Structure 1
Amino acid sequence: MMIHKRTRIRFGILLLSLLLLALAAAGCGNKKDEPESKQAANVEQVDDSQQGSGSAKQDAAAKQWDKMPDMSIDPSKQYSAVFHTNKGEFTVNLFADEAPTTVNSFVFLAKNNFYNGITFHRIIETFMIQTGDPTGTGTGGPGYNIPDELGSDHKYDVGTVAMANTGMPDSGGSQFFICTGEVCSNLNTQPNYTIFGQVTDGMDAVMSIAKTPVVMGEDGNPSKPTEKVTIDSIDIIEK
């Protein structure tokens, strides 16, 4: 009798363990309305199985830092970023006063040419376009993470620029997204992504990127571009 009872208890524990594992696995995927990155903290974000050979891997590996950059911007000044892409040019007003740490990191990376040649690896026209990963896989970052800067009055409207993250607090790095459709407003119910800018000019170029043909992506949605869309360079303007 005792053996039978223990067997049932062990069987129950096994079933519970399997259920928890299944729930954990379900929570790991990117959902259509969550602009998550899969980057990890403070590690080199290069996956040889998904990268090209030679210089592409070396370039991705070279764009790494072991800590967040020191504050170098003046939050009392106005900063903007002019994006040059293979689908046109657009300008983003950066919210240095409301998200100084995020803007400081972005400006640091842009001035160090981190974003040059990086692709828009995830595109959902009715939602957003996502970029900032040197590996182009959704797993890459700069080697460090930055804290969230939430609680501003800004909303996730078309043209809003915000940090992607892993779904965990303070897990932003270099990946960010630009809202391009009404679905993005769903994020307003639970604002977990630091808003650090707004497109002020060239929204036609942003929408041109958003209209790039896509196929099914790893997130289980049509989001993987069928053509290469790149950031050629970013100019930082300070006033």
Structure 2
Amino acid sequence: MSKSADSITVATIKTKFGNIEIELYTKEAPKTTANFVGLSLAGYYNGVIFHRIAKGYVLQGGDPTGTGAGGSSIYGSTFEDELNPNTQSYKDGYVRGVVAMANRGPNTNSSQFFIILDDAPQLPKNYTIFGKVIKGMNVVDKIASEKIKPQMGPNDGRPVNPVAMEKVTIEKRYKKINSIFETR
């Protein structure tokens, strides 16, 4: 008997509105996904709020201070971008449901990330894409519909009633299993 299996790594973010399931692009962004997985398994994101809503653009979280100025990584400090023009995610760009690292400039990734709410072809390809929502985009939309205190523009700011990531879990899922049985 021989069998082959294709697996994917899925992060599930539990919120009061339901779950958000994200397929992590472990082959396209190995260092970034290792950071996200490591932080998730350590409970780093548990209780952390989505601190920024840019209506029709992004939902951002991952800063335990809730200010947008904090964050850390499993590497002890910030780490480099993984921007490879040959990957499918880079070619597809920032489309609805994409999950990418938030940063303050080149090679300043830590724990903050954002989810694209609507296709954003105007966004420069400066942010490492490391996954995509595969289930629960309605939950993302519900969180993004919360009332905000505009800080960076009329449609960009902090939620009045922030929604927390109650728990983030990681699991392997098998896309398909093919078995061939040989009889002698």
TM-score (norm 1): 0.64
Q: Secondary structure of the residue that 1:186 maps to in structure 2?
A: coil
How far apart, in 2, do the equivalents of 1:153 and 1:227 lie? 36
Matches within 5 A, 1:1-239: 78-142=8-72, 144-151=77-84, 152-154=87-89, 155-167=93-105, 169-182=106-119, 184-187=120-123, 190-217=124-151, 219-221=152-154, 222-239=156-173
More helix by share: 1
Runs of 4+ in 1 over 3 A off after TM superposition: none
Contact 1:92 1:201 in 2 (8 A): yes
What is the SS of the residue equivalent to 1:185?
A: coil
Higher share in strand: 2
- CA deviation vs aligned residue, 1:145-185 (integer Å, no higher than 9, x gap): 12100123321000000000002x11000000000024x23
The question of whether the paired residues in 2 share the 8 Å contact of 1:158 and 1:181 is answered with yes
1:77, 1:96 within 8 Å by CA — same for their partners in 2?
no
Q: Which has the larger radius of gyration?
A: 1
Percent of aligned pairs sharing the same letter: 40
Question: Matched residue pairs, number?
Answer: 159
> How far, CA to CA, are the matches of 1:211 and 1:107 in structure 2?
27
- The TM-score normalised by the length of structure 2 is 0.82
Flag the structure with more relative contact order, 1 or 2, with Cα contacts below 8 A and sequence separation at least 6.
2
Tell whether the 8 Å contact from 1:213 to 1:226 is kept in structure 2 after alignment.
yes
Distance in 2 of aligned mates of 1:77 and 1:200 = 14
Gaps of at least 5 residues in structure 2 are 1-5, 174-184
